[in-house]
A = this chain, B = another copy of it.
Amino acid sequence: MSISKPSIPKGTRDFGPAVVARRNYIFGIIRRTFEKFGYAPLETPTLENLSVLTGKYGDEGDQLLFKVLNSGDFLKDVTADDLANEDGKATRRVLPKVAEKGLRYDLTVPFARYVVMNRGTLVFPFKRYQIQPVWRADRPQRGRYREFYQCDADVVGTDSLLCEAEIVLMMCEVLNALGLTDFTIKINHRGVLRNIYQALGDEGRESDLFVAIDKLDKIGRDGVTKELLERGFSTLASERLFALLAVEGSFTEKRQQLQAAFGTATVPTDSPDSYKGLQELRQVVDFLSGFGFEQFQNLEFDPTLARGLSYYTGCIFEIKINNVNMGSVSGGGRYDNLTGAFGLPGVSGVGFSFGVDRLYDCLEELNLFPEGAAATTRCLVANFDASSMAAMLPVLRELRAAGIASELYPDAAKLAKQFKYADGKGIAYVLLQGPEELVLNKFKLKNLRTGQEQTLTLSEVVAALA
């Protein structure tokens, strides 16, 4: 073995015990909520065939896929000509010859692949959740990693807007359980955006409009106007747009104002789908009312919410934690053709995802992790010498039998060192049996947080720690 100075790839992280415990606290709340709503776990491989991944995330996505070299003699089909030909296409020419697998880029495409491969045996509607890491060869920066977890829940095989309403319930349940209270769930519908586009008089390109609207938060009205003009929209269209976006009030009031505005504009009214967006949003709100939903103050109809439009076709969602300066911690929406790329068209579904790294940062900034979330061993049993060590073995056995995570310091080191160990590991209690306690057949239990010491029998110790 050669000696190497160890490092980890940029954009990746080691998670030490305290961080894993806190992350598991978040994962646990998300998992329990998904399961309570009937979503079942799915796990797909880290390695996917590039034929599955490529072309699903746009050109930029294809660039950001991590590709895995074929094993063995990966160069066997590559010729010197492939490289010598200086047409700038060598990489594109060689890639399919040296790599046929890549790393999972998101959880949605593997989910679609799974549904198509197992469509004969799955029962629909199929409700699955998936909590696994994904990899992107993005430039690492603060808060952006090359390896990070996604937590997705999706249901496919039903158009029912019950699913959308339950997504709002799940979002609230997770955030409430995490102690986050000051949040806004923004909701919109692709149909509303289409109506807005139609109301502008059909100028320019639809996607240009949405790209510009999506930036409203960042660049303001003037910036968006400038961008619209650059993209070929008229001043009139821009003015109409801001008139439409200026709707105010409750969910219902905004819906009514928009519907009225669409009616006086150029939105065609002859199609049954004309106001599908507004109608579906209303149905979602009705379902929520039926559930006795009590957090309407956290739900905002935002006609400017656009998200990744190439993909979504119905309701779209996004959550912002208001008292933390951070992007959205969750988002999702309905899509009509997720499995079309794998030859199974017409499967409607809706899904959403939590960003666990951002949730973690929010909880940390707001000091919302409960004390126990980082806990490891509850009790360290001190080791005085070989004979004390032998005497402590049945004690240790009894603690563990009561479900108390415990350990005996493995060597008869100085007590100061043993206490330092407990402290460094975040252990709450140290149990000691020195000569005084031994005579009494008792133990000294020290709480390292409060400094409090008690002299107790073993069964009292178990009762105090259990």
Contacts and interface: CB of A to CB of B under 8 A. Distances in A.
A64 to B, nearest CB: 7
Contact of A80 (B21, B80, B292): B80
Interface residues on A, range: 35 or more
Contacts of A36: 400, 403-406
B127 A407 contact: yes
B38 A405 contact: yes
A113 interface: yes
Contact of A411 (B158, B390, B411): B158
Given A42-B20, A420-B123, A421-B123, A7 B162 contact: no
A231 interface: no
Contacts of A341: 1-4
A73 to B, nearest CB: 5
Contacts of A420: 123
Contacts of A135: 46-47
Interface string A45-79: 11111011001100000011011110111110011
A135 B114 CA distance: 21
Given A1-B56, A46-B147, A41 B67 contact: no
Nearest to A58: B1
A40 B73 contact: no
Interface in A425-459: 425
A7 to B, nearest CB: 6
Contact of A133 (B4, B17, B46, B343): B46
Interface in A1-59: 1-9, 12-17, 20-21, 24, 35-38, 40-49, 51-52, 55-56
Given A7-B49, A72-B137, A123-B420, 20 more contacts: A1-B340, A2-B55, A3-B340, A3-B341, A4-B52, A6-B113, A21-B41, A38-B376, A40-B377, A46-B133, A47-B66, A63-B72, A69-B69, A69-B98, A75-B94, A80-B80, A82-B83, A123-B425, A155-B410, A162-B389
Interface of A: 1-9, 12-17, 20-21, 24, 35-38, 40-49, 51-52, 55-56, 63-64, 66-69, 71-75, 78-84, 90-91, 94-95, 98-101, 103, 113-114, 116-118, 122-125, 127-128, 133, 135, 137, 146-147, 155, 158-160, 162-163, 287, 290-292, 340-343, 376-377, 380, 389-390, 393-394, 396-397, 400, 403-408, 410-411, 420-421, 424-425
Q: Closest 4 A-B residue pairs measured CB to CB?
A: A38-B407, A123-B424, A160-B410, A17-B40
